[in-house]
Amino acid sequence: MSNVIHLKTPLTDDDVVNLRIGDRVSISGVIYTARDAAHKRLAELIDDGKELPFDIRDQIIYYVGPSPARPGRSIGSCGPTTSYRMDVYTPKLLAKGLKATIGKGNRSETVIEALKQYKAVYFAATGGAAALLAMAVKKAEIVAYEDLGAEAIM
């Protein structure tokens, strides 16, 4: 089994270009969460030439809609959602500087090419580890689109 590569956000080009398929990675720092509805809104802002609600450059978006936090916890269960549902929006976000996404499942050829073009990476999260992943979250707060509930950007 390979060694774990430790990364901290914000990511750099060097962080990304030195990764290889199959590398095991541990990430610390801020990781944003967003799903379908939030991605649609972000893409619309980009299309309209408007500012995004957070600085996306060199950041990571985790495709998740967490469950409510239990007392004493920062976040509820937070397993990855299927990534291909965000594929229509991902190239626009990568063009704005997004450096990585985390989810489960395959990506489209369009997204794969955009990842290469913009020196970004897709991290495949382990399905079935939602409770374990939640224990690693130190703090969670809504950044944008509170009206989306679990799909708000955190």
Out of 7, 31, 35, 39, the active site residue is 39
Q: How many other C-beta atoms lie within 10 A of the C-beta of residue 113?
A: 12
For 1-47, give the DSSP string. -PPEEEEESSP-HHHHHT--TT-EEEEES--EE--HHHHHHHHHHHH
Mean pLDDT, the chain, as a whole number? 89
Domain ranges of the chain: 31-151
Residue 61 pLDDT grade (very low, low, confident, very high; cuts 50, 70, 90): very high
Q: Where does 31-151 sit in CATH, by number?
A: 3.20.130.10
Q: What is the pLDDT of residue 91?
A: 98
**Distances from the Cα of 123 to the Cαs of 10, 28, 60, 63, 74, in angstroms?**
15, 14, 10, 11, 23
C-alpha count within 13 angstroms, C-beta hemisphere, residue 92: 16
pLDDT of res. 130: 59
6 is catalytic: no
**Each residue of 105-139: pLDDT tens digit?**
999 999 999 999 999 999 998 776 656 666 666 77
**Which of 17-31, 53-67, 101-115, 136-150 has maximum average pLDDT?**
101-115
